[in-house]
Each structure stands twice: as structure tokens, then as C-alpha cells.
């Protein structure tokens, strides 16, 4: 079965203190905070309700701690210990901007004002969304089984765009909520939370 037709579930890691403070994480290692642990448990419970469906899914995760901590809750809930760690689904690197607030980046003259420009913009020492689509596209294209992956916000946008054929401006404007899971099967982006399907 071609990878573009395989069932694919994406989960963004739970909240960290840096998320709450609006700081750019990128390659920095951060841990889930109390709210993030609760979000991870919520999505784990949502997935566990469909444990039979996910029995045949491969489990993949970014090597970064916040993603690993989220996957730990999910794999426990699914009673699985066969998780593959892959650096191709790590977060985009934001180079010199890591550790600085998003508002500072958005106010900087180096940051493109238009969505198309932001897709191709590569921060000093970092990666562009274009780079991320290539990286995660290589991972996605090599899949041979239904897959559930825990990763990050920016690389998650790249994955969603790659899986559903979105344009560069659409990719950078995608929402990546925490405490939910995203079903990318059948070329659609569908988010689900504890209250059922969300827009």
C-alpha cells in the first residue's frame, strides 16, 4: 500500500513551560509541565478508547523529551512497548531564535510578513518550513504500515501539508492544538478531542 493511502495519526506533544510563555523551543530540550502531562493523558485515553483500531499501527516519536513524555502515556494506554524513535520527526530548528519569544520574531524585520515568504524563510542556523516538508516527507514516504506519530507543532504542519497536498501558505497557517489527535487518513485533516470532533 502506498504511504499516501495508509492511515496516519498525528499527535502534538503536550504543553511545556516554554509553550505557556510563548518561547521558541525548536531543538531545545524541554519537559511537559503539569498541564502538558494532563493533555498527554487525555489524548492517551482518547486513543485507548479505540485500542482495537490502533492494534496494527506502528508507533513513531520524535527523540525530543517533550514528545517522548507524551508518547510514554500513549504507549502505556495502548499497552504497547514497540515505539520507534526517529529524528526525521523532530521539531524544526529555529537557529538563533530558539529561546526567544515568538512576538520578538514576528516583530523582527527579518521575518517575512506574508505566509508564502514564511514558508521559505530559513532562520540563521535553522530550518525553513520547506526544509521540514522535505525531511518529514522522506519519513512519510517510507512508511509501510498504518502509523501513529507524536511530534511537534511546526514539523506537524509540515507533515499535515505533505499528507494532504496543501500549498505553502496553507501549511504555515495550520493549527496544531495540544491534548488532541489529528487523523490524516484519506487526505483530510480532522482533529479530535475529548468533546468529539473539532473544527
Cβ atoms of 154 and 89 closer than 8 Å = no
Cβ atoms of 62 and 40 closer than 8 Å = no
Catalytic-residue membership of 34: no
Q: What percent of the chain has pLDDT over 70?
A: 97
Which among 13, 98, 127, 152 is annotated as catalytic? 13
Q: Taking each helix axis as running N to C, give the angle between helix 34-48 and helix 65-77, from 0 to 180 degrees, rounded to the nearest 10.
A: 40
Tens digits of per-residue pLDDT, 25-72? 999 999 999 999 999 999 999 999 999 999 899 999 999 999 999 999
* Range 136-165 average pLDDT: 97
* Range 90-101 average pLDDT: 98
Report helix, strand or coil for 111. coil
Which among 5, 29, 55, 91 is annotated as catalytic? 91
Q: How far is CA 101 from CA 21, 60, 98, 110, 177, in A?
A: 8, 29, 8, 15, 19
pTM of the shown model: 0.95
Catalytic-residue membership of 49: no
Amino acid at each position: 500500500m502506498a504511504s499516501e493511502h495508509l492511515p496516519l495519526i498525528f499527535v502534538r506533544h503536550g504543553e511545556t513551560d516554554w509553550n505557556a510563555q510563548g518561547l521558541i523551543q525548536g531543538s531545545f530540550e524541554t519537559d511537559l509541565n503539569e498541564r502538558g502531562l494532563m493533555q498527554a493523558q487525555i489524548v492517551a485515553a482518547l486513543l485507548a478508547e479505540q485500542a482495537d483500531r490502533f492494534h496494527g499501527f506502528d508507533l513513531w516519536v520524535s527523540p525530543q523529551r517533550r514528545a517522548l513524555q507524551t508518547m510514554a502515556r500513549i504507549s502505556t494506554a495502548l499497552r504497547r512497548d514497540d515505539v520507534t524513535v526517529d529524528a526525521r520527526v523532530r521539531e524544526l530548528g529555529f537557529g538563533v531564535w530558539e529561546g526567544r519569544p515568538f512576538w520578538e520574531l514576528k516583530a523582527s524585520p527579518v521575518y517575512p510578513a506574508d505566509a508564502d515568504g514564511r514558508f521559505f524563510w530559513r532562520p540563521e542556523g535553522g530550518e525553513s518550513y520547506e526544509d521540514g516538508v522535505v525531511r518529514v516527507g522522506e519519513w512519510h514516504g517510507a512508511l509501510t504500515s498504518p502509523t501513529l506519530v507524536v511530534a511537534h507543532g511546526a514539523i506537524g504542519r509540515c507533515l499535515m501539508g505533505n499528507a494532504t497536498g496543501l500549498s505553502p501558505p496553507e501549511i504555515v497557517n495550520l493549527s496544531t492544538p495540544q491534548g488532541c489527535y489529528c487523523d490524516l487518513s484519506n487526505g483530510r485533516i480532522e482533529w479530535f478531542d475529548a468533546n468529539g470532533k473539532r473544527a
